[in-house]
Structure 1
Amino acid sequence: MPTGVALRDPRTQLFNAAERLLLRDGPSALTSRAVTDEAQVAKGVLHRHFTDFDDFLAEFVMDRVERLDAQAALLRESAGTGTVVENLTDALTALFGSVAVAIVPLMTFRLGLRVRLRKVWPAGVPALTEGVHMIAAYLAEERDLGRIAADAEIDGLAPTLVGGAHLLFADRDARPDAEAVRKVVTTVVGSVLRTR
C-alpha cells in the first residue's frame, strides 16, 4: 500500500470502502485488512483514526445513520404532494436501497459492535430505528394535512412499514420491485388514507 501520501479525508475513504465491502461481500468480509485494502491505504491509517476495528465499525454505522437525515427531510417535504402511498414506497425503497439493510446482519455478526453502539444508541438497530422515526414524522405531517385519518396510530404504522419493507429487502439476491413495496405500503396504510 502507498505510504507517505497525504489522504484528503481518510475517514470518508475508509467508510466508503467498508460500505462497498459490506454490500458486495457481507459482514463476514469486513476486516481491518479488507477495508484498508479496499480503500487502497496502509493498514495503519485505520488504526491511526480509530481505537480498534469495532470503534471504526460503530462510527461507520453512525455515519451512515446520519446520512438518513437528508432523506428524512426530503420525505417530510413531500408531504401534501403526490400520493402518500407513492411517497412511502419511494422512501422505503431508498432506505433499504442504502446500506441500512446490511447493517442488521453486521450488528448480528459482531458482538463488539453491538456493545459499542449501545453506548450511543440505547435501543434497536440504528438504521431501522431512524427509518421508523423518519416514516413517523412524515405520517404526522400527512395527518396534519388531512391526508391520513386524525386517529391514525402512527406509532404502530411506522414500525410496521419499516418492518414489512425490511422483510422484502432482507436476505435477497434480487431487490423487490416497486410493486411489491407498494403492496406492503397499501396494506399497512390503506385504511387510514383520506381523500379530500
Structure 2
Amino acid sequence: MMSPAKRDAETTAQLRASFVEHARRIVARGGASALTMRALAAEAGSSVGLPYKVFADRRDLVRAIVLADLDRFRSAAAELLARAGTGTVGGNLSWFSGFLLDSPSVALAGELLADEAHTHAVMAGAHEHGFGPTAFPVLLTNYLHAEQQAGRIRPEVEVAAFGFLVAGALHNLVVVGDAWPRPERAELDRFLHATAAAIASVSGSRPDPT
C-alpha cells in the first residue's frame, strides 16, 4: 500500500493561512472561548483532524493568529500616517483605535498574557515584524507630529506627550480584563475626539463629529 503523499512546505503554509482566516471569523463572532480545533475544522469544512496536521495545538493556532495580525497592524500604521492632513484628527484616531480593538488578537490577549512562553514567542515575532511594544507610542507621536506639521495641531503642543497618553489608553484596553472600567465604543470615540479638539489649531481644525 502506498503511503499518502507528504505536504510540501508551501501547501502547509497555505493551509495554515487559510485556517488562520477561518479562526479569525470564529473569534470575531463568538469571542476567544468559541475557538476550538473542532470548531475550526467545522468552519473550514475540513476533517476534524486536519487542523492538528498543521498546528501543534490551540496555542500554536493562537500564536499564528496574533503574528498574522502584526502585518495588518503595520499596514494600519502606514495608513494612519498617510491620513495626516485628511478627514479629522479625532476621526483618524477613532479609526485606528477601532482597527486595533476589533482585532481577534485583542480577544485572545488574556490567554496570550497568561502564558509566559506564549508571550515571549509573540513578542519575538513582534520585534521581527518591526512592531514591538514601543511601536504604538512612536506611531501615534509621529502621526500627531504630521498633523502638527499640516497646521491642524497647535505648534506649542507637545505631541509626544499626547502620543504616549493615547497609546497607553489603547494598550490598557487591549490587556486589561473586564473587571477594569471599559468605555463603550461610542464613548471611546468621544474621548478621542475631545482629545483632538483640545490640541487642535483654530485655523487647521473643523468640527469633529461625535
> Please, what TM-score do these two structures have when normalized by structure 1?
0.71
Deviation per CA, 1:90-143: give whole Å up to 9, x if none.
Answer: 222233233353142232354442232133346xxx798655444333212112
Aligned to 2:122: 117
Aligned to 1:191: 198
Structure 1 unaligned segments of length 5 or more: list them.
none
Q: 1:105 aligns with which of 103, 110, 122?
A: 110
Identity %: 25
- Residue type at the aligned position of 2:198: S
CA contact (8 A) 1:32 1:53 kept: yes
Cα-Cα RMSD: 3.7
The CA distance in 2 between the partners of 1:115 and 1:154, in whole Å, is 31
CA contact (8 A) 1:54 1:113 kept: yes
- Residue type at the aligned position of 1:186: H
Aligned to 1:37: 42
Structure 2 unaligned segments of length 5 or more: list them.
6-10, 204-210
Structure number, greater radius of gyration: 2
Q: 2:142 aligns with which of 124, 137, 140?
A: 137
Say which is worse superposed, 33-42 or 70-79, in terms of deviation.
Answer: 33-42
Deviation per CA, 1:151-174: give whole Å up to 9, x if none.
Answer: 5343432343244457779859x9
The CA distance in 2 between the partners of 1:135 and 1:102, in whole Å, is 22
**C-alpha spacing 1:152/1:120, structure 2 compared with 1 (3 Å):** farther
The CA distance in 2 between the partners of 1:76 and 1:19, in whole Å, is 26
